[in-house]
Amino acid sequence: CATCHDPKRGWTDNQPVSAGIHGGMGTRSAPTVINSTYYLLQFWDGRAKNLEEQALGPITNPIEMGMGSHDEMISTLSNIQSYRPLFQKAFGDPNITKEKVAMAIASFERTVLGGNSKFDRYSNGDKTAMNESEVRGRELFFGKANCTRCHVGSNFSDSDFHNLGVGMKKPKPDWGRHDVTKEEKDKGAFKTPTVRDITKTAPYMHDGSVATLEEVVELYDRGGEPNKWLSEKVVKLNLTAQEKADLVAFMKALDSSPYPSVEEPKEFPQ
């Protein structure tokens, strides 16, 4: 999993889209694992209802991990003898099943939590935690720019799906949520990502087409990219250059301290 969700790279791979096991390229940017437990649905299009269901998806995806079936995965893991006592310890049974694999991966992912940012410390009463630009950006985020139309709550995401117009000019656009619901209103709509630790997860958007936070702000300032299904929540902001800089400064103040990293195991089951 860490080839696309690398703890050293914001739990992503910092690529527009990810390369799979045989060098094939995916179509969407690898989302961060940080705070993924707080989303109501998983994947950019919300096709998985929880982390367990999400964990099983890439395993049989022909581009990502390329296994022919979950039975093949079970057979492969079962032949690695030192996995069996680990499953015994975790589940009280050494037999490996896809449900246990999904639960193990999801349980680990739920420990990858961001927080204690400069914003959090400021909100909890430490008025020295943020500088003047970051404070102005905070007021813009919750005020004039109204970013909380979508980036709401402690995880800065409504777990809903919105069309910003990104990628809609392509000859064959990615229809996003529509692929799951088949509803016209969901064409080109993608899940709202968290803004926490966003400095580490570039490039941005579902297709990795926006390189910097400054470009993200410009996209929103002009009201997204016009298309038939543009979200009504995306409107022109008419921000000044200083306001744009302050908004970026605030987003940078959402970096976790400490950053939720983990050391790679020194050895793996054989």
Residues marked as catalytic: 64
Distances (CA, A) of 126 to 112, 256, 260: 25, 16, 22
Distance between CA atoms of residues 201 and 141, nearest Å: 19
The answer to whether the beta carbons of residues 156 and 194 sit under 8 Å apart is yes
Distance between CA atoms of residues 37 and 175, nearest Å: 25
Distances (CA, A) of 217 to 86, 90, 214: 46, 45, 5
Distances (CA, A) of 262 to 2, 6, 38, 153: 11, 10, 20, 26
* Paired strand residues for 48: 42
